[in-house]
Structure 1
Amino acid sequence: MKNKFTLFLIFILIKVNSQIILSENFDNFGNLGTSGWTINNSSEPVGTSSWGTTTAFSPYNGSTGSFAAVNYQSTGSIGTISNWLITPSINLKNGDIISFYSRSHHGTWPDRLELRISLNGPTSALPTSSSSSVGDFTTLALTINPNLIASGYPNTWTNYTYTINGLSQPTDCRVAFRYYVTDAGANASNGDMIGIDALNITTDTLANILFETQEITISPNPTTDFITINNFDSNMNFEFYDLLGKKLTPNKVSENKFDVSLLLKGTYIIKITYNDQTEIQKFIKQ
């Protein structure tokens, strides 16, 4: 008799090897320039401070001060902050994932961070002309606290992810963090201090093994509380990981249903194994 798994489940088994394109924990912030990073403060007026490090709060990981920080002193007493931290040129394709952690210092003054992408790689035009300029960084991937709400920026380290999409082919890009706060400065109502840590940009190398089966799926995806494994088999084993490879232990509600309500917002990986066969699935927690 045929193995139950191959007789009734018709799916494409995918082995995924996650490879790191760029990883930066900002342990040696002073050396970023030598590895192709760019800092560009286009605030109006330009203040006395820019991207650097601080001991005002603890890093997400690593030693004291080992994260990138920027604050309201990027501009004068009252002004518009547009302060950029830009990666070297990297080759990206659809499905690649940008993951990082961010937080504010106090969480009581309005702060805002944009993640932007230029598709022109090493020839990208920098946003140097004014505080409203974005140069070639016209792709707005995500914004933390877009409406500058006083308590809208978390004051604990929080994971943010963005999946690359819409590219016609693998493309040389630069990724930018833009600290963008209007009505900011020492004598203004907006702007405090934010940090960025544990930046990882990863790609998946896929080797496909074809079976006569139905596809294993996860629903709902994205989710806020529970996920269900469809086309479940009782002999399957499930392991959960974040994008940094940390193993997680969500509460098992039933054989194929898991409570993920306590996970932070972001993208997660489920490793599904059956005998010597493995499938990787991703889901988004909102």
Structure 2
Amino acid sequence: MKKILLLLLFPIIGFSQNQFAFGFDGTTAAMISAGWQVTNQSSPVYATAPTWSIADYTAPTATTPFGGLTPNGQAGGLNSFALINYTSTGTSSTAGSGTISNWLITPVVNVQNGDVVTFYTRIGKNTTTADPNASFADRLQLRMSTTGSTTTNPTGGSAGLGDFTTLLDDVNPNLNLTDYPTSWATGLRTVTISGLSGPTDVKFAFRYFVTSGGPAGNNSDIIGIDSFSVDRPVASAQSFFTNNFSIYPNPANNVLNLSVKNGLTVNEISVVDINGRTVKTINNSFDSEMEINVSDLTSGVYMLNVKTEEGVATSKFVKN
């Protein structure tokens, strides 16, 4: 019988590692407990003006924003998204106008150049083919602070940015009635991180930023966001291994040596046989070199999976 090396059992594909994700399910209190922060720096801002919150429509009607009878998020069920509206500024909830600057700030996230930030946003108005435009123009910024846990939040009114001086995305900066996404299906936003000196603790912030907003303003209505995620694209598991590790000797008899490059820390090693079964797991952390005892393995082809904080590296080796 002809022997066939079943390499298809070990597909080499590209993938990404999630660094942070939040789906805005649950309650506003749960969001705050998870480390999110809110601050309304609109000018003027009255005492009971809202901050960002999780939607809580209890009796949807045909005129309820975000889908009428079913105001669902981009993912999840009823009320599974965060929102903010025009009453962020003014002299009351029904009068006045001003500049809206209402912030929703993430917990600390560790990122590096090349990481991809995604989220969904839409206006709340239920547009139709006959009436496809927003009633009032809205705007949303995504900003970043590179000072991590020591970040200074915005203060001092609508012009204040705190440490959030890096603008990553600006949705409808010209305040047009046609340019803000009108559905979750069209509301995906994608940003790639760049300009950092290396891995960095950051915070992201959504800034609802509308001039001439408020109950008596020319702009601002209601917007939502959902499915915020930060992901790290990783090259194929094989190329990731080649760039960061080496193994020798290969074929191996009793010992396989794993050498680490580029200062990566290995968190776990597993050996998988040609049938896809994990036959050995090593949980010792190290960042230089390790001897792996393979004397107890039967002769054949194996895959070595090396788990790090940057992703999983994979390489084939032969046991004599």
Report the equivalent of 1:85. Answer: 104
TM-score w.r.t. length of structure 2: 0.59
Trace 1:95-244 onto structure 2 (pairs within 5 A): 95-106=114-125, 107-157=134-184, 158-206=187-235, 207-209=237-239
Distance in 2, Cα, partners of 1:120 & 1:78: 33
- Larger mean CA deviation between 18-27 and 46-55 belongs to 46-55
How well do the aligned residues superpose, as a CA RMSD in angstroms? 1.9
Distance in 2, Cα, partners of 1:194 & 1:180: 11
Task: Report the residue type matching 1:44 in the other structure.
Answer: S
Deviations 1:104-125 (A, max 9, x none): 0122211000010000001011
Following superposition, the deviation at residue 15 of structure 1 comes to 4.2
Deviations 1:221-249 (A, max 9, x none): xxxxxxxxxxxxxxxxxxxxxxxxxxxxx
Report the equivalent of 2:18. Answer: 20
The answer as to whether partners of 1:50 and 1:73 remain within 8 angstroms in 2 is no
Following superposition, the deviation at residue 66 of structure 1 comes to 1.0
Following superposition, the deviation at residue 103 of structure 1 comes to 0.2
* Consecutive aligned runs of 4 or more in structure 1 exceeding 4 Å deviation: none
Task: Report the residue type matching 2:123 in the other structure.
Answer: S
The answer as to whether partners of 2:108 and 2:148 remain within 8 angstroms in 1 is yes
Q: Relative CO higher for 1 or 2, CA cutoff 8 Å, sep ≥ 6?
A: 1
Following superposition, the deviation at residue 30 of structure 1 comes to 2.1
Deviations 1:44-83 (A, max 9, x none): 1114222113333222121111100000011112111000
The count of residues paired between Structure 1 and Structure 2 equals 199
Structure 1 residue matching 2:97: 3-state secondary structure = strand
Report the equivalent of 1:46. Answer: 45
The answer as to whether partners of 2:40 and 2:50 remain within 8 angstroms in 1 is no
Structure 1 residue matching 2:53: 3-state secondary structure = coil
TM-score w.r.t. length of structure 1: 0.66
Trace 1:266-285 onto structure 2 (pairs within 5 A): none
5+ residue gaps, structure 1, are 1-12, 211-286
Distance in 2, Cα, partners of 1:63 & 1:46: 32
5+ residue gaps, structure 2, are 1-10, 58-64, 91-95, 126-133, 241-320
Deviations 1:108-158 (A, max 9, x none): 211000010000001011111121111110100010000111222121111
The answer as to whether partners of 2:50 and 2:87 remain within 8 angstroms in 1 is yes
The answer as to 2:63 corresponding to 1:62 is no
